[in-house]
Amino acid sequence: MRSFLTLKARKRNLYELYYKGPENRITESFIKMLEKSKPSITPTFLELLGIRECHSVFNYSLQVNHNIKESVSNAIVLGISGFTHEFDIKKALSKKDKNGNPDAHIYAKDNSIHILFEVKIGNNKLTDDQLYRHSKRFKNLNQADAKVHIINKTWNEISSQLKVILNDYAESHRNYLLIDEFLDLITPNGYKDIFFYKENEHLKNEYIALDNFIKSLPEVSVEERNDESIDYLYNDINFATIFPNNIS
């Protein structure tokens, strides 16, 4: 009997070979896309997001476990998720203090701007207490009236502005490749490459519904196996598998 489904040969994403853990992988891919593209991309991207105009060269780092002690005139916490989020200081102050590191840190080499990132994917939402805790890592604002700005963006907004940048480059350009591959990584497109045998076509909707439900769970990632089955992982631990029918 033929398998329930067969996956077509699929183009490997430039980033997905190297990063594990759904949120960490997306964050690292995002930061490395900015880092490996031309230096002008990061300032352009920040300006398109409405953060601020900046013409400096940037430094990039991940998993920030230290305070920002440099003298900073523009301090920003940038939250990114799939949901619109309005920061409420009252909700942040009502929560008990917890530990937690920003997912990434980029800053201008002239220290004119520092940005800490908090990244959420899937159904995971930004929380006010976490964003507020990140803001307390800035220890040396260099103006008496300076404050940390907490800005939240959705992945749709990130995607839209990256597509604007793509228009400036030919498909053969390094910047186009880096950005396009990242957009492919963050764009939910289901399983376009699933092939259903004609005799199993009537099961397609049931499978897609099951697949969508499992992938909607927080922190779930998906891996294809050589035997045509699909593993569903929670924090890199396999908790469910769709197996093909009786391969012989």
Quick one: pLDDT band at residue 95, thresholds 50, 70, 90? low
Q: Environment class of residue 174 by beta-carbon count within 10 Å: exposed (0-12), middle (13-18) or buried (19+)?
A: exposed
Determine, yes or no, domain membership for 247: no
State the virtual CA torsion across 101, 102, 103, 104 in degrees, nearest 10: -130
Q: Which amino acid is at 120?
A: K
Enclosing domain of residue 203: 6-12+189-242
Single residue among 149, 166, 185 that ends a domain in this structure: 185
Tokens 């995971």: give the residue: 124
Structural domain total, the chain: 2
Tokens 């490997």: give the residue: 12
pLDDT tens-digit map of 19-51: 566 788 889 999 999 999 999 999 999 999 988
Q: Environment class of residue 156 by beta-carbon count within 10 Å: exposed (0-12), middle (13-18) or buried (19+)?
A: exposed
State the virtual CA torsion across 154, 155, 160, 165 in degrees, nearest 10: 120
Q: Which amino acid is at 226?
A: N
Pair 113, 52: CB distance under 8 Å: yes
Q: What's the predicted TM-score (pTM) here?
A: 0.70
Residues 131 and 150 in one domain: yes
Q: Choose the most confident range, by mean pLDDT, from 30-39, 205-214, 221-230.
A: 30-39
Determine, yes or no, domain membership for 229: yes
Residues 198 and 83 in one domain: no
Residue 204 has pLDDT above 90, yes or no: no
Residues 180 and 198 in one domain: no
